[in-house]
Amino acid sequence: MAEQVRTGKVTIRDIAASAGVSVATVSRVLNGRPDVKAATRELVLDTIRSHNFSTNRSARGLAGGKTNLVGITLPNLHAEYFALILSGAAETLYDQDVRAVVCPTLHQADREVSLLDRLMHGTTDGSLIVLPESRPELRVLARRHYPFVVVDPKEPLPAGMPGVSAAHFSGARDVMDHLICLGHRRIAAITGPSSWVASIERLHGYQAALAAYGIIAPPEWLVEGNFQIEGGYHAAQVLLALPQRPTAIFAFNDNMAVGALQAIRERGLRVPEDISLVGFDDAQSASLISPPLTTVRQPLIEMGRHAATLLLRLLDGQPAEGLRVHLATQLIVRASTAPPPAED
């Protein structure tokens, strides 16, 4: 329960009585608890504001002070990708005596909007928003001058919004340089959703490398996936059925590379003897599958750290415009790539 609160003679009991709710309800609102109806939450917040109420960290935030709490919204906690970003962010915030309020969105836009609304209304000083679903909601936060940093944006960010991501273009370019230097010329790609920033930039890196080496890629070399294992599996089936199949496949993440590996084996082909395979992310599974996967390592912990550092700068009053960070990736060469097989 929240601490006893006073500004002059006003206490948490006074707020509860004025709003017509229980002391426990006011306490839940002050502590950012989700188990309060939206209408009740707004009633309590309006009452707090009308009384110029200040308290411990939570209520000081409602009155315009600092709470030393930062929200972190992200799709889920169990996926390695998001867990590493969260780890880096939480470590940096802890070092500055700032606590994180972690809010899984489950890839649901409505849930994300609701969580951000709660975080914005006095519960936190600012937020890190990982792979946001709702770009319009970001505009709302910006208009209300709520500090936030986007980590790994799904769609291109509007001008002026701070963000942190990996250098997708150069990572994809490194993959293609590696494959081309091995002697591959028929290099297909399993892309991600066409509207996602990561997929767009990796595709540009793929295309730029082919152009630099004078290689013309026919449209059938590109098949869109969904960043899931089954998406990679079905896309690889399409590529392997081409009259002249590719000698290498670049999957735009490791999940899809695992799916592609399954499809390749079903056709009685070997990696890398018959076809080379590359992923992107360097998830833990990349080094555990057989053969171990050549892939691009994203600096996920560093992304979380940089995003938290950037948010702390914003909270200190430093300007936000133009603050975009693209962190370098690293090509990790393992046993899934080799020179192409000799032509019959």
Does this chain's domain 1-59 share its CATH topology with 168-298?
A: no
- CATH code: domain 168-298 is 3.40.50.2300
Q: Using CA atoms, how far apart are residues 236 and 125, in angstroms rounded to an integer?
A: 46
- What confidence score (pLDDT) does residue 42 get? 85
pLDDT mean over 265-285 = 96
- What confidence score (pLDDT) does residue 7 get? 39
Per-residue pLDDT tens over the stretch 110-135: 999 999 988 988 689 999 999 998 77
Instruction: Map out the domains of the chain as residue ranges.
Output: 1-59, 168-298
> Is the pTM value of this prediction over 0.95?
no
Flag the least confident range among 36-40, 145-149, 296-300: 36-40
Top pLDDT among 31 and 297 is at: 297
Give the chain's mean pLDDT.
89
- What confidence score (pLDDT) does residue 10 get? 63
Q: Spell 44-82 as b/e; 16+ CB within 10 A means b.
A: bbebbeebebbbebbbbbbeeeebbbbbbbbbeeeeebb
Of 302, 311, 313, nearest to 71 by C-alpha is 311
- CATH code: domain 1-59 is 1.10.260.40
- What confidence score (pLDDT) does residue 39 get? 86
Is residue 329's pLDDT more than 60? yes
